Structure 1
Amino acid sequence: MKKMKISNKRGFTLIELLMVIAIIGILASVVLASMNKSRQKANSAKTKVQLSSIRSAAELYRDVVGNYGISVLGTEAPVAPNFGNGCSSGMFTDPLLDPYMATAAYPYLPAGNLKCTTNGANASDYVVTARLLDDGYWCVDDNGNSRVTTTGTVQANNAGVCP
């Protein structure tokens, strides 16, 4: 009587497993790269919406107080939220604007990327710029302008106008 041989070969070879792992790694890197870009665009969109909200809150502040607060001329370079040079005084410290000016509102921005300026003896103008993660700076001003700028800086004599 002949005995039947039972094959002990079960499962996958090492080469097959390594190929599958390599393919999964390549696909994961492509997905993660596209997700990072999408996250940057979403954060930039959030920044634009928050700055538009600052405009609405600033107009409410002006209706109540009669101006945009004390004159605050920030330095040339943008500054971090609530760390001086414009964003930590005047109307920008009012509770009406606090949700949009707090550092916690921009956790995705590195320090030094929000700049606030009011101008004139009666603080009749304002400009706020914030760094966008995907391209340039977003600027809003009291004239209703909202646009992307390349530098995010506002010259002291041009406060009230997006660069």
Structure 2
Amino acid sequence: MKQKGFTPHQIFDMNHQSRAGNKGNLASQRFGAGFTLIELLMVIAIIGIVSSIILVSLNGARTRARDGRRQLDILQITLAMELDYAEDQKYSQVAGSSAPSKIPCSNPLLCDGAGDGSYMNPVSQDPQGGPYSWIDNLNSLTTNCSAQLYCVYADLEEEGWFAGSEKGSKKLDYDPGDPLSPNSGKCPCW
């Protein structure tokens, strides 16, 4: 009789007698069902290869998801800045190259029912940590930015940058903060 699926192994020798005596000689008739070491190693290797392929494809999906989150965050920051502008015809001014911790408003009851005085508190941060990049709109001498302009942007993992400004939002193929890029460090972003 030919068995399929695995290699049978003889556990006991045919002439083996149990220590308690010969009790029907069942032990001498048993064959173990199991896999050889080679078979087990092959299965483990195949599982390893398949899992590494799956992990590589999942990394691409995670990257796209983080980029989608960055774009959504920039859109939310742009919306908060536009709400701020609608209130008093100027944008919140931020010094430095990092997005502010919150986007304030002068009338807290218009902003939110909580009355914390902001359109967005806290301002969203990059999914991998840290604030989004911001072009200083407080020091207009170096950046051409003023209370009438702003530029917030994120570096996408896939390709390019995503920026939000008084013009709206847009995917860019250059870094708005790079001194060698067009419109480098200036408002508007594009």
TM-score by length of 2: 0.63
Measured after TM superposition, the shift of residue 50 of structure 1 is: 1.2
* Uncovered stretches (5+) of structure 1, i.e. residues with no partner: 75-84
Question: Which residue in the other structure is 1:147 paired with?
Answer: 171
TM-score (norm 1): 0.72
**Greater per-residue helix proportion:** 1
Structure 2 unaligned runs (5+)?
1-24, 105-117, 178-182
**Matched residues, percent identical?**
27
Residues 48-87 of structure 1 correspond to what in structure 2 (within 5 A)?
48-70=71-93, 72=95, 74=96, 85-87=97-99
Is the CA contact (8 Å cut-off) linking 1:71 and 1:122 kept in structure 2? no
Partner of 1:88: 100
If you compute each CA radius of gyration, which structure gives the higher value, 1 or 2?
2
Deviation per CA, 1:103-136: give whole Å up to 9, x if none: xx42424x4x721123568510111111212222
Q: Contact 1:54–1:97 at 8 Å: present in 2 too?
A: yes
Secondary structure at the aligned position of 2:34 is classed as coil
Measured at CA, do residues 63 and 69 of structure 1 come closer, stay the same or move farther in structure 2, by a change above 3 Å?
Answer: same
Partner of 1:44: 67
Please tell me whether the aligned partners of residues 136 and 151 of structure 1 are also in contact (alpha carbons under 8 angstroms). yes
What do you get for the CA RMSD once the two structures are aligned?
Answer: 2.7
The corresponding residue for 1:80 is none
**Distance in structure 2 (CA, Å) of the matches to 1:47 and 1:66:** 27
Per-residue CA deviations over 1:65-101 (Å, capped at 9, x if unaligned) read 32012364x4xxxxxxxxxx34237xx54221334x2
Map of 1:98 onto structure 2: 121
Distance in 2 between the 1:9 and 1:51 partners? 64
Partner of 1:79: none
* Count of aligned pairs between the two proteins: 141
Higher relative contact order (CA 8 A, sep 6+): 1
Report the equivalent of 1:125: 149
Measured at CA, do residues 37 and 161 of structure 1 come closer, stay the same or move farther in structure 2, by a change above 3 Å? Answer: same
